[in-house]
Structure 1
Amino acid sequence: MPASEQPQIYLLTPPEVELSTFPARLDDVLDVHDIACIRLALSTKDEDRISRAADAVREVAHTHDVALVID
């Protein structure tokens, strides 16, 4: 199967993330694994918390050229 047709990993975030540690842990994962997309899937409905998490995850995803979907 050509590389372009190989399955790719779609990463889901945990429903709760600690913003002081999660971006660094995500960065470590992206350093080691080829991830196609990250889905930010938080359980909270707090728009401020979602926004802050999205900003932090987006920064890491952008550095690794990984797509980000916000659920």
Structure 2
Amino acid sequence: MTNWERYFGTPEAAMRMEMRMLRDGRRFRIAVSECNPFTTCAFASRRVRDFCSWGEYLDWLKAEYDDGTIRWEDE
């Protein structure tokens, strides 16, 4: 499963995601957050990832989703 499938692959998953392009002078970054629909306050979200370029963001979308259970042989 890619990150795109995990976070945006279904209408329900995509509905929870928030994408923002934040500009600081000449630099910009892309922030991806996941909103919590089961919160008691008006808005709660957790930052999924920040990116410094569109290329980095696209590479992340195509990469395999890692929830921390993937272990490499050298670890």
| Higher strand residue share | 2
Query: TM-score with structure 1 length normalisation?
Result: 0.21
| Higher helix residue share | 1
Greater relative contact order (CA < 8 Å, ≥ 6 in sequence): 1
